[in-house]
Structure 1
Amino acid sequence: MHRGKDDVMEYALLIYGDEKAWAARTDEERRTNGERHARFVALLAERGVEMRGGRELALAGSATTLRKKGDAVSVTDGPFAETAEVLGGFYLLAADDLDVVLELARELPEDTIEIRPIVPLPE
């Protein structure tokens, strides 16, 4: 991967979890989770890692999936895959290298975080 014009790499941290388990959490557990995310964002600033975006996503059942096969296009309600773990949110970070992002991602409260480099747009 080559770097963008500001000489840092961008990484998407994709946060997966079980929506049924999330729905079963108490208000205190949700509050604690939110506090841990706030500490994560503060840690990014302390480490000089820029957060370029990030949000919690609506429940997977609210998704619309577009599938293309040749010239045929179908649009269906719901997520693409039937699975217990679904994409629940993301962060978009700019960091010097993957090792920094891996170290920081360990601080997130969720158990499954997929980290992907962002392909820079051509100049």
Structure 2
Amino acid sequence: MKYVLMIYSSPASWNALSQRERDRVGQEHAALGDELRESGEWVGGNTLADPSCSVAVRVRDGVVTATDGPFAEVKEHIAGYYVVECETLGRAVEIAARMPDSTLSHVEVRPVMHPGGLEM
């Protein structure tokens, strides 16, 4: 089963960290990624750019509009994600709990669906 582990970030929490603490977060991500690659559970993942860099695309009555971000005053945003393949939801939750972001904000675990609606 594949799961997306969405990393939520709070700018206030992140900005409160020292450079040393930020470096630790990066090192913990690197170590966890290496472990997941070695176990065969890693599918992919990335850090996402700041929401101010995003564009919202909508099509209404055939008309395309693209609006530059940020879009709302939010306290948290998705800062990145992992895609893992593991046997159970419980294992995906274990991985999410080891992500340093779970102590700074939270990590959402969501199953990946096939186009037909079945979980992968």
TM range (shorter): 0.7 to 0.9
Secondary structure class of the residue paired with 2:30: helix
CA deviation after TM superposition for structure 1 residue 29, in Å: 1.3
Secondary structure class of the residue paired with 1:115: strand
Are the aligned partners of 1:44 and 1:51 in contact in 2 as well (CA < 8 Å)? yes
Take 1:63 and 1:22, find their aligned partners in 2: how far apart are those partners? 19
Take 2:43 and 2:37, find their aligned partners in 1: how far apart are those partners? 12
Counterpart of 1:115 in structure 2: which amino acid?
V
User: Considering only aligned residues, what root-mean-square deviation do their CA atoms show, in Å?
Assistant: 2.0
Matched pairs, number: 113
Matched, 1:103 2:75: no
Among candidates 21, 28, 31, match of residue 36 of structure 1: 28
Take 1:41 and 1:33, find their aligned partners in 2: how far apart are those partners? 12
The answer for the alignment partner of 1:118 in structure 2 is 112
Among candidates 44, 47, 50, match of residue 56 of structure 1: 47
- Structure 2 residue ranges without an equivalent (≥5): none
- Structure 1 residue ranges without an equivalent (≥5): 1-8
CA deviation after TM superposition for structure 1 residue 104, in Å: 1.4
Counterpart of 1:35 in structure 2: which amino acid?
Q
The answer for the alignment partner of 1:69 in structure 2 is 60
CA deviation after TM superposition for structure 1 residue 28, in Å: 0.6
The answer for the alignment partner of 1:86 in structure 2 is 77
- Residue 95 to residue 58, structure 1, CA distance change in 2 (3 Å): same
User: TM-score scaled by structure 2?
Assistant: 0.80
CA deviation after TM superposition for structure 1 residue 36, in Å: 1.5
Secondary structure class of the residue paired with 1:106: helix
The answer for the alignment partner of 1:25 in structure 2 is 17
CA deviation after TM superposition for structure 1 residue 18, in Å: 1.3
Give percent identity, aligned residues only. Answer: 34
Structure 1 segments, 4+ long, off by >4 Å, are: none
Of residues 10-19 and 73-82 in structure 1, the stretch that sits farther from structure 2 once superposed is 73-82
